[in-house]
Amino acid sequence: MADRNDLDFTYSLIDRIFRLSLGELADFSGAKYDGDFSLTLEQAQRRKHEYVAEQIGIEAGRTVLDLGCGWGPLLNYVRERGASGVGVTLSSAQAAACRRHGLDVRIEDARKVTRREFGGFDAVASLGAFEHFVSPTDYYAGRQEQIYRDLFANIRGLLPEGGRLYLQTMSFGRNMIPFEQVSIDAPRDSDAWYLALMMYQFPGSWLPNGGEQIAAAAAPHFRLVSDVSGRLDYIETIKQWRERFAQPSWRKTLVKAQLVPRYLTSRDFRLAFTSGVSANSVCFERELMDHHRMVFEALPAA
Ligand SMILES: C[S@@+](CC[C@H](N)C(=O)[O-])C[C@H]1O[C@@H](n2cnc3c(N)ncnc32)[C@H](O)[C@@H]1O
């Protein structure tokens, strides 16, 4: 699993730049354009929230758990709908930002959340976090499937029979290359180089091998209701993010200036944040990666 240090590297370091670029309470996962790229980023993120609400039932009086809640966009939407939300993240900066906005967010490992600690929920959502639940070390040690199976068993324990889970995640795609070829020393612009860059941006994280692997791990506890690809919408989301991040502001310049020592001393930092290319976007375009919007329904308890 990506641990707290990994996630602080990915999310806490860019916390202020993220919020200055995208806004407080902004989403950091693929939006839902449904191919209509005339929508603004905010409209497409709103459309995603509405879709999640429709799929898992977010409405007044209901309780919702957000596993890997980021800067709290879905929790904020849950609150607007009159429902009650709890979030978990492993990024301390995200938790602090959420709490400043009155959201109930705890620093906990989403994989370990149980009914004993958190109580039950009417619905569970997890957007853009599943990607972090298995590390390369877990993968090479053969633990990937077991981690996913344990996670689904835990989530099932939080829900009533028929309760729903919305899971949004990237996966390796149909053109994925053999893992041993992935290397930052591969020729620039090759598949192997872009995939290696992804691993610098998201250290400690390893993707699922397509929707089938996820559905199989969930099968003892959940019926798969739907699995829709958000790959093309994600490419547009990244394009919009990059435009926002590139918009100049003196505050962002100040924050970036504070990161200069890190830039000078850390190759990992330079590769993760200043490569000048969007590895994510290219991996989606080349179908080295895919993207899933999955809805599950809890089966009767075994
Ligand atoms: C790409 S962000 C997505 C945030 C948010 N769901 C959204 O859509 O904007 C991934 C989130 O997953 C969280 N995360 C990753 N692994 C986690 C774990 N094991 N336990 C709790 N949170 C985790 C990160 O801290 C971060 O908040």
Q: What is the pLDDT of residue 8?
A: 60
Greatest extent of the chain over all pairs of C-alpha atoms, in Å: 57
CA of 5 to the centre of ligand 1 (A): 13
CA of 50 to the centre of ligand 1 (A): 20
For residue 256, with 0-12 CB atoms within 10 Å meaning exposed, 13-18 middle and 19 or more buried, which class applies? middle
> For the CA atoms of the chain, what is the radius of gyration?
18
| Helix-helix angle 15-22:250-258, to 10 degrees | 170
Delimit the domains of the chain by residue range: 4-181+203-252+288-297
Closest Cα to residue 280, out of 131, 111, 144? 131
Q: How many residues does the chain have?
A: 302
One digit per residue, the tens of pLDDT, for the chain of length 302 reads: 667 766 666 666 677 788 888 888 989 999 999 999 999 999 999 999 999 999 999 999 999 999 999 999 999 999 999 999 999 999 888 999 999 999 999 999 999 999 999 999 999 999 999 999 999 999 999 999 999 999 999 999 999 999 999 999 999 999 999 999 999 999 999 999 999 999 888 888 999 999 999 999 999 999 999 999 999 999 999 999 999 988 888 887 777 777 777 767 777 777 666 677 789 999 999 999 999 999 999 999 87
CA of 26 to the centre of ligand 1 (A): 13
Question: Is any atom of ligand 1 closer than 6 Å to the C-beta of 132?
Answer: yes
Q: What is the pLDDT of residue 9?
A: 61
Question: Is any atom of ligand 1 closer than 6 Å to the C-beta of 70?
Answer: yes
C-alpha to C-alpha distance for 152 and 141, rounded to whole angstroms: 20
Question: Is any atom of ligand 1 closer than 6 Å to the C-beta of 7?
Answer: yes
Main-chain phi, psi angles of 134, to 5 degrees: -125, 135
Q: Looking at ligand 1, which atom is closest to the CA of residue 127? A: 6
Q: What is the pLDDT of residues 142-171, one digit of tens each?
A: 999 999 999 999 999 999 999 999 999 999
The highest-level CATH class for domain 4-181+203-252+288-297 is alpha beta
Question: Is any atom of ligand 1 closer than 6 Å to the C-beta of 89?
Answer: yes
C-alpha to C-alpha distance for 37 and 233, rounded to whole angstroms: 8
Residue of the nearest CA to atom 13 in ligand 1? 68
CA of 187 to the centre of ligand 1 (A): 31
Question: Is any atom of ligand 1 closer than 6 Å to the C-beta of 131?
Answer: no
Q: What is the pLDDT of residue 249?
A: 82
C-alpha to C-alpha distance for 163 and 158, rounded to whole angstroms: 9
Measured CA angle at 99 (ends 96, 105), to 5 deg: 90
Question: Is any atom of ligand 1 closer than 6 Å to the C-beta of 111?
Answer: yes
Question: Is any atom of ligand 1 closer than 6 Å to the C-beta of 14?
Answer: no
CA of 186 to the centre of ligand 1 (A): 30
Closest Cα to residue 296, out of 231, 221, 230? 221
* pTM summary value: 0.93
Closest Cα to residue 11, out of 284, 285, 26? 26
CA of 128 to the centre of ligand 1 (A): 6
Indicate the SS3 state at residue 221. Answer: coil
CA of 29 to the centre of ligand 1 (A): 9
Indicate the SS3 state at residue 251. Answer: helix
Main-chain phi, psi angles of 146, to 5 degrees: -65, -40
- C-alpha distances in Å from residue 176, one per residue of 59, 88, 191: 39, 31, 9
C-alpha to C-alpha distance for 41 and 25, rounded to whole angstroms: 14
- C-alpha distances in Å from residue 188, one per residue of 194, 242, 280: 8, 21, 15
Q: Cβ neighbours of residue 157 under 8 Å, at least 6 residues apart? A: 114, 115
